[in-house]
Amino acid sequence: MGSRLMGSRLMGCRLMGCRLIGSRLMGSRLMGCRLMGSRLMGCRLMGSRLMGSRLMGSRLIGSRLMGCRLMGSKLMGSRLMGCRLMSSRLIGSRLMGCRLMGSRLMGCRLMGSRLMGSRLMPCMYHIVQA
């Protein structure tokens, strides 16, 4: 409802039970993604690449994921309410059970990092490399 899917590629995706209300998916590539039960209300995924990522049960309410690359990442059970992940690269990272409410991860590079069960509530990580 109200979502804009301009220029996005949705090959082989499974979008069961998703709510994409008011989200803008301009130029995003969602190849092989599994978005079961996730809520993407008000998201802006401009230029993001979500190849092979699994977003089972995740809530991306009000988040802005401009220029993100989430290749091969697994975001099972994570809650990313109010997050701003501008130009971040979460390549190969596993964010199982994470709660990143209100955090700002601008310019972060979290290649291969595993943040299982961590809670990063209202943290700000600017130009972090892991």
Task: Give percent of the chain above pLDDT 70.
Answer: 2
pLDDT digits (tens, 9 = 90+) for 2-15: 556 666 666 666 66
Checking if the pLDDT of 122 tops 60, the result is no
The arithmetic mean of pLDDT across residues 56-66, rounded, is 68
Checking if the pLDDT of 1 tops 60, the result is no
The arithmetic mean of pLDDT across residues 16-37, rounded, is 66
Q: How far apart are CA 97 and CA 51, in angstroms?
A: 20
Checking if the pLDDT of 47 tops 60, the result is yes
pLDDT digits (tens, 9 = 90+) for 106-119: 676 666 766 666 66
- Compute the mean pLDDT over every residue in the chain, rounded to the nearest whole number: 65
Region of residue 23 (phi > 0: left; psi between -120 and 50: alpha; otherwise: beta): beta
The arithmetic mean of pLDDT across residues 64-88, rounded, is 68
Checking if the pLDDT of 30 tops 60, the result is yes
Show me where the domains of the chain are located: 1-130
